Structure 1
Amino acid sequence: MRQRHGAVVPVLLPGDIPAWLVIGYRELHQVTGDTTLFTRDMGLWNQWPNIPEDWPLLPMINRRQPSIYYTVGAEHKRHVDMVVPALEGVDASELRRHAEYVADALIDAFCGLGEAELIGAYARRLPILVLARVVGFPDAEGPDLADAMNALADGGRDALAGHQYLTAAMTRLVAAKRAAPGADIASRMLAVGGADFTDEEYLLDLQAITAAGHLPTADWIGNSLRLMLTDGRFAASLTGGRHSVGHAMNEVLWEDTPTQILAGRWTSRDTYLAGRRLRAGDLLLLGLQGAHGDPQVHEPGQAAPGGYAAYGGYGAASYGGSSYGGGYGAGGGLGSAGGRHLHGNSAHFAFSHGEFRCPFPAQEISETIARTGLEVLLDRLPDIDLAVPPETLRRRPSPFLRGMTALPVRFTPTPTTGTLRPDGGPR
């Protein structure tokens, strides 16, 4: 795409809806940093007259939802001022202890078998099972939340049912926490927001937090495991435990970022970007992974512009693409490590950038869950190895989230820890 089209690529969404995909690092930095020219106000979109009611990307681009993701200006700040203090109240030590407990419980289910498929059995279950308690759900509801959230990520026949379950679950949660507040995110949101927010607003913000907290974190775990199992630079980490977990996690945010495309920004007036003429109301997709591969970051070089590129596919995983999505966090300035981005270089866009970047408390929650999951797994299964040739591994067929469909491994069977199930019952 870069060689043919340059830093800003004309693309087509389902139904031949035109948009622009920004894959230049500097251009993405400009777009995410200028909220006046490149606004989050999706009401400006010049394609709304052409969008049918059943358009598959409406869950990601929906101007009718009063949530932290779909609001701008003072209204967005109102949601941020309510959500961020609630996230800041998460106790880091308690979060890690619970993440270790859930990780041990999940590993106990397969550690004696000598083999496992780590995406379905571990990476895609750990984040939501941990977040369930943090958000305010009883532990017993965690497995059902995990099934519903993963159905959304798959975008298959169960996606709608998963969304309906999550909506009903969040509705019950808001009502329960109004009646009996606890030490959780939902209760703190209600305490901070009070009567200034409707139940619908609380529900939608809780959905955004939970979806964006689970989906990219699950892929962060899965992609980090894939890297450590297939790249010889991390072989010592597998036998030595936790040594380079942080290095692998940071490299994944650069080279294999869990959210590779986000929607979006809309131009508030006619303008130019990387030589492209953009009309007022045009949609820009944020090509996070594309920007990380920009030769301006890795090495000097410039691609030439060209014509249209085809862009297809979608998934309900786009629910993860909220202002808390794109992983979680903030990009920074240009940074290079000779083609390999070294540990500590956080100038990536995996956490987005600018006013709508993921708040720092959400970044910390995600990193704690992902790192704990990786460390506990390596501690428990020190001789873990990939069970299939690396070239047979397959990605999820979504242009938005970047994760593995499966990660089969083998290892020496080990005894269980006797950890209780996440719902509190004996294993």
Structure 2
Amino acid sequence: MTTPPPGCPAHTEAEAGPGTTSAPAPAPGPAPGPEAEESVPLSGPRFQSEPSALYRELRREHGPVVPVTLAGGIPAWLVIGYREMHQVTTDASLFTRDSTLWNQWDSLPPNWPLAPMISREQPSILYTVGERHQARAGMISDALEGVDPHELRRYAEEFADSLIDLFCTTGETDIISRYAMLLPVRVIAKMYGVPDDQGPDLVAALIDMIDGRERALAGQQHVQQTIMALIAEKSQFPGPDVASRMLANTQGFSAVDAAQDLMVMAAAGHQPTADWIGNTLRLMLTDDRFTASLSGGRHSVAEAMNEVLWEDTPTQNVAGRWAARDTRLGGRAIAAGDLLILGLAAANADPQVRTDASVLTGGNNAFFSFGHGEHRCPFPAQEIAEVIARTAVEVLLDRLPDIDLAVPAEELTRRPSAWLRGMTALPVTFTPTPALRPAPAPGGHR
């Protein structure tokens, strides 16, 4: 989810795998934090409305490592210091992705709402470690490197145009629900080898799954069925696609493993990329530095996208890492088996390394939006996400050059999540324009 590879801006380490609680668990460890009352709930409207101010307060009151409470009263640590984040994501032996070490498995309430974010059986690349992780990551990277960048751009342009055709004659639309949330997974599905006519249903199912509400399970089942059917098809009839390349180079992993990783990549590549598109368009429509150039140079798109990764990254917080043994981090005593949540957005804004207001402080690659270390979003996936997001923004601005907000900027709201940061809606107006081509009626898994 967490959510995030392809497109992991938020990489980052996805919340896509189904959570379970069936494997033997280590004995529960002590709750993190010196005093339970010091824990901060990892929820609430401030994570949507004013996260920058909230993270400043947390840093001032608790330091770079904050004791937090997850849904159901489950304790964890939120790492918000840049240097501490670098340490956690670099030292894979001390701060591991081996979730079986968690000292809270026996404390989880029934139907824990965060179960889809943290898997115990470790079915996907998200929870493999060491040489096995490196081999699995190599399988994925090799398959993604086979994506032709010109073909990828063409897919993104075609789907972008087809979506814009559905509303360009009306003079108004919601960019989030009718564009940003629909485009990334259509392109990803095409790269995988999913037939075009299954794309709309896959989009709707992924949105249902990530939404985490009443249709989440049905959405997850639909995604699983689609990917398993794809694996079965490509096992017999391979083609020039990501799924076929993974099956041809499994490096000792099974077809089921490949299917799990394709599911992770679909979820990781979809929601964060959709939010990267939405957050970039919000910035360009509300910030004076960009509004004057909406119909002008495309260089402003790249600048806005990079600023979003620093200042408004689609993945705020990621679960996470587990301490392999008792240790200390940021002045805190971390017990073996404690869960550490990666505070990507907070670490990006750490004043210890951000000494001025520049969004480029430390260089373009210094932000944590794609993660860091062994479990960093693979480079091919980052490139794919960037191509999809940048194409989406550029095509929209080319087609609708006078696009403008339909409501005051202060009325825009964020989705209620402490994990992913995206808009609930981005209503816009523009001069109606003719469609480029007749578009098929939109489908949907409902």
- Please give the TM-score of this superposition, normalised by the length of structure 1: 0.87
Matched letter for residue 206 of structure 2: M
Residue 279 of structure 1 corresponds to 335
Q: Which residue of 2 aligns with 1:303?
A: none
Contact 1:105 1:422 in 2 (8 A): no
96, 107, 113: which is aligned to 1:39?
96
Aligned-partner Cα distance in 2 for 1:289–1:219 = 14
Q: Does 1:401 align with 2:429?
A: no
Contact 2:124-2:261 at 8 Å conserved across structures: yes
Correspondence for 1:27 among 84, 93, 99: 84
Q: Is the 8 A contact 1:135 1:184 kept in 2?
A: yes
Q: Distance in 1 between matches of 2:96 and 2:81?
A: 18
Q: 1:197 to 1:419 in 2, by over 3 A?
A: farther
Match of 1:312 in 2: none
Q: Which amino acid aligns with 2:145?
A: E
Match of 1:339 in 2: 357
Structure 1 distance, partners of 2:358, 2:410, is 21
Partner of 2:133: 76
Question: Structure 1's 38 and 364: CA in aligned 2 closer, same or farther, altered over 3 A?
Answer: same
Distance 1:261 1:359, change over 3 A: same
Give 5+ residue unaligned stretches, structure 1. 300-337
For residues 293-333 of structure 1, the C-alpha deviation after alignment (integer angstroms, 9 at most, x for no partner) is 2111233xxxxxxxxxxxxxxxxxxxxxxxxxxxxxxxxxx
Q: Distance in 2 between matches of 1:341 and 1:166?
A: 37
- Structure 1 residues 89-100: aligned runs within 5 Å: 89-100=146-157
2:282 pairs with 1:226: yes
Number of residue pairs matched by the alignment: 385
- Cα-to-partner distance string for 1:359-387 (whole Å, 9 max, x where unaligned): 10000000000000000000000000001
> Does the Cα contact within 8 Å between 1:242 and 1:378 map onto a contact in 2?
no
**Residue 320 of structure 2 is aligned to residue 264 of structure 1:** yes
* Alpha-carbon distance in structure 2 between the residues aligned to 1:255 and 1:419: 39
CA contact (8 A) 2:168 2:434 kept: yes
Write the distance in 2 (CA, Å) between the matches of 1:202 and 1:53: 29
RMSD of aligned residue pairs (Cα, Å): 1.6
Question: C-alpha displacement at 1:241, in angstroms?
Answer: 5.2
Q: Which residue of 2 aligns with 1:102?
A: 159
Retained in 1: the 8 A contact 2:276–2:305?
A: yes
Conservation of the 8 A alpha-carbon contact between 1:241 and 1:375: no
Q: Distance in 2 between matches of 1:241 and 1:298?
A: 28
Q: 1:7 aligns with which of 47, 53, 64?
A: 64
- 1:413 aligns with 432
Deviation at 1:52, TM superposition (A): 3.9
Letter in 2 for 1:371: R
Partner SS state of residue 417, structure 1: coil
- Shift of the alpha carbon at 1:200? 2.1
Quick one: distance in 1 between partners of 2:76 and 2:247? Answer: 38
Where do 5+ consecutive residues of structure 2 fail to align? Answer: 1-57
Alpha-carbon displacement from aligned partner over 1:376-411 (angstroms, at most 9, x marks no partner)? 000000000001011111111111111000000001
In structure 1, distance between residues paired with 2:312 and 2:138? 32
2:378 to 345, 359, 364: 359
1:229 shift after superposition: 0.4
Matched, 1:242 2:298: yes
Question: Runs of at least 4 residues of structure 1 off by over 3 A?
Answer: 419-424
Percent of aligned positions with the same letter in both sequences?
61
Give the corresponding residue for 1:137. 194
State whether structure 2 residue 193 is matched by structure 1 residue 174. Answer: no
Are the equivalent residues in 2 in contact too, given 1:67–1:79 (CA < 8 A)?
Answer: no
* Map 1:300-319 → 2, pairs under 5 A: none
Matched residues in 1 for 2:186 and 2:426: separation? 20
Residue 292 of structure 1: CA displacement?
Answer: 1.3
2:400 aligned to which of 373, 381, 398? 381
SS in 2 for 1:294: coil
Give the TM-score, by structure 2 length. 0.84
Is the partner of 2:295 in helix, strand or coil?
helix
Separation (CA, whole Å) in 2 of partners of 1:364 and 1:288: 19
Asked whether the equivalents of residues 139 and 246 of structure 2 are also in contact (C-alpha less than 8 Å), the reply is: yes
Partner in structure 2 of residue 291 of structure 1: 347
- Structure 2 distance, partners of 1:243, 1:418, is 28
Aligned counterpart, 1:200: 256
What is the CA deviation profile of residues 8-41 of structure 1, one whole-angstrom value per residue up to 9, with x for unaligned ones?
0000111111100000011101110111111111
Q: Is the 8 A contact 1:237 1:243 kept in 2?
A: no
The question of whether the paired residues in 2 share the 8 Å contact of 1:241 and 1:382 is answered with: no
Q: Distance in 2 between matches of 1:358 and 1:86?
A: 14
